[in-house]
Each structure stands twice: as structure tokens, then as C-alpha cells.
Amino acid sequence: MIEFQQVSKTFDNWKAVDDLNLRLNAGDFTVLIGPSGSGKSTTLKMINRLVEHDSGRILFAGKEIRSFKEEDIRRRMGYAIQSIGLFPHWTVEQNIATVPALLKWPKARVAERVTELLTLLNLEPARYRQRYPHQLSGGQQQRVGVARALAADPEVLLMDEPFGALDPVTRSALQAEIARIHKASGKTIVLVTHDIDEALLLADRIVLLDKGRIAQVGTPFEILAHPASDFVTEFVGRSEVGIKLLGLDTVGARVRKGQSATGEPLPISATLREALSAFVARRASSLPVVDAQGQPVGALHFADLLDEQA
């Protein structure tokens, strides 16, 4: 889908990206992460030509990105950023419809798409479509920004620190929304973040960058369980690896089916990390587990959390 071949980018005397070789697969949720100055945002912006690469080749759908007109490639790639950038004097509907209007979609189709996206992002269409950005909370504005990026049904969604300025509760809710959208749509998503927990939560594959070069590429489990260097180990948090590994698996993977226990039940979809918090808070050695309909399925024991991760 997207491939970097020996790509470099220099700003003045600073090499932001240094001989990058990377393939981003269609349908994957890829997270670019690294410390400040690692080249992650530059890498993202080179994909849709907001930043032009100095050397090497970047391929999109098998073609060098410079063979596309800038406006054409940006219409095929939605772009959402932390600052949102909504037009303040346009309604929510007008903001979301920006690209479809440029593409001269029929008005009825645009209105239908706005309704679809507002519903997808849990913003009641009748309530929000005629509001202005200043009438929305930060989280609602960010949702509209994501809806605008998705409006023309792009092949790729690029996201640059989209949730960085939000409070933890709103951020968590939007992370869940993006994960749900990815699962439902199968879109190729590339997201930049500095937050390792966000990367572990969302990514199919993590690309960890350091000084413009790749430190490691792998699944969340591979990054945590098999770090390629001391830099990777320190970046993910040497003393927190065990806790983070628990966040990659669910209660359903360890539940003892058919067993019973007392206390407030755990949902089968909860992470083992969330289960650990529940055990500590309730001072319990076992807890009941229920399915999505609230029906009992078994029990989880505190000792089950201590099993070796395979």
C-alpha cells in the first residue's frame, strides 16, 4: 500500500529522516512512535506530500507519490491533526462536507454522508450538524475533525497526535472510537503518537523511530516481549513491561469457564490489566466473568494473571 525506499529528509542541518525503508500494509493500523525529534511526524507528512522527501522513493498503490497531483493524493488520504483546524464560521455539516463539496458530490449524497459519519462518531446528527465549532467541547470538535478526514471515504487515514490535547476520559473514548472504526471499515490507518500506551492499545504494528531511523518494527507483543535494543526497552518502560503485556490480552483468554465466584463481575472483553486493577480494588482472589449480554461464563482467578505470557 505505502512503501518507503531509502527515504531521507533534511531540514537545514538536521536529518529528520535518515535512509528509511518501511512498508505499510493495506488495512493495517500502523502507529509511528518515538521521542521528540525522532522523525515520526515528518514521516507521516511525507506520505501525503505535506512535506516533500529529499531522496529515495515513496510508493502509494505501487506508484511514486510524486506522479500524483498533490490535490489528488490528499483526496485519497484523510488527514486529522491535534489542532483539528475546523473552519470557525462553518457549521459542523459544512466542515465535514469540505472535501465532498470540492469533489462536487450531489447535495443529497453529502447530507447522507454527514449523517452517517456523525452517527458513526456518536454525535446525534439532528443535534450537532448545524452547530458551530465554538459550541462544541474539545472532544466533540476532535470527532468532527475525524469525520471530516473520513468524509470522502479515503483509502488511507493519516492522524498526527490527534488526541494529544484532550483530557484522559475523552482521549480514551476517542481511542475506542478509532479502534471501532478501523475494525468496521478495514481502512489503512497511520497514526503518530508519543504515548506508548496509546500505541499498544491501537496498533496492529508499531514503528519505533529514533533519530530518523527505525529502532524496531513489530506487533505490540513483539515490541514488549522481544525488544531489539536497550533503547526500545527503555522507551516502552523497562519496569512496566509485565503490566503492559497484561493490557494486550483479555479476560476471555484466561477465564475458567463454568466456574463461579462472588463479587461484581468482570466483562469478558476487559483487558487483563483492567482485571488486575479490579482485583486490587476489591481485594479478591477470584471474580465472576460475564459476556456482552451480562450472562455468567465463568470465573477469573488472580493467580491466572501471573501465568507466563506465551
Q: What is the pLDDT of residue 123?
A: 92
The answer, yes or no, to whether residue 245 has pLDDT greater than 80, is yes
Task: Give me the number of domains the chain comprises.
Answer: 1
Answer whether residue 262 is part of any domain: yes
Q: At 26, phi and psi to the nearest 5? A: -60, 135
CB 2 within 8 A of CB 23: yes
The answer, yes or no, to whether residue 267 has pLDDT greater than 70, is yes
Answer whether residue 41 is part of any domain: no
Answer whether residue 223 is part of any domain: no
As a whole number of angstroms, the distance between CA 201 and CA 203 comes to 6
Answer whether residue 197 is part of any domain: no
Count of C-beta atoms within a 10 Å radius of residue 12: 5
The answer, yes or no, to whether residue 310 has pLDDT greater than 50, is no
Q: What is the pLDDT of residue 238?
A: 86
Dump pLDDT digits (tens) for 198-242: 999 999 999 999 999 999 999 999 999 999 999 999 999 988 899
Dump pLDDT digits (tens) for 133-173: 999 998 899 889 989 999 998 999 999 988 877 788 888 88
- Domain limits at 265? 249-306
Grid cell, residue 84, equals 483539528
Answer whether residue 260 is part of any domain: yes
**Which band of pLDDT confidence, cut at 50, 70 and 90, is reported for residue 84?**
low
Q: What is the pLDDT of residue 121?
A: 86
Dump pLDDT digits (tens) for 271-308: 999 999 999 999 999 999 999 999 999 999 999 897 65
SS (H, E, C) the chain: CEEEEEEEEEECCEEEEEEEEEEECCCCEEEEECCCCCCHHHHHHHHCCCCCCCEEEEEECCEEHHHCCHHHHHHCEEEEECCCCCCCCCCHHHHHCHHHHHCCCCHHHHHHHHHHHHHHCCCCHHHHCCCCHHHCCHHHHHHHHHHHHHCCCCCEEEEECCCCCCCHHHHHHHHHHHHHHHHHHCCEEEEEECCHHHHHHHCCEEEEEECCEEEEEECHHHHHHCCCCHHHHHHHCHHHHHHHHHCCCEHHHCCEECCCCCCCCEECCCEHHHHHHHHHHHCCCEEEEECCCCCEEEEEEHHHHHCCCC
Q: Which residue's C-alpha cell is 448545524?
A: 130
Average pLDDT over every residue of 95-105:
91
Answer whether residue 106 is part of any domain: no
The answer, yes or no, to whether residue 46 has pLDDT greater than 70, is yes
Q: What is the pLDDT of residue 171?
A: 85
Average pLDDT over every residue of 101-123:
92
Dump pLDDT digits (tens) for 183-209: 988 999 999 999 999 999 999 999 999
Query: pLDDT averaged over the chain?
Result: 92
Q: What is the pLDDT of residue 163?
A: 82
**Which band of pLDDT confidence, cut at 50, 70 and 90, is reported for residue 96?**
very high
Answer whether residue 164 is part of any domain: no
Q: What is the pLDDT of residue 307?
A: 66
CB 24 within 8 A of CB 188: yes
Please give the model's pTM, rounded to 2 decimal places. Answer: 0.88
Q: What is the pLDDT of residue 262?
A: 93
CB 223 within 8 A of CB 262: no
Residue 274, domain CATH: 3.90.1280.20
Answer whether residue 124 is part of any domain: no
Q: What is the pLDDT of residue 236?
A: 93
The answer, yes or no, to whether residue 64 has pLDDT greater than 50, is yes
Q: What is the pLDDT of residue 309?
A: 45
**What is the identity of the amino acid at 202?**
L
CB 44 within 8 A of CB 207: no
The answer, yes or no, to whether residue 32 has pLDDT greater than 90, is yes
Higher pLDDT, 146 or 30: 30
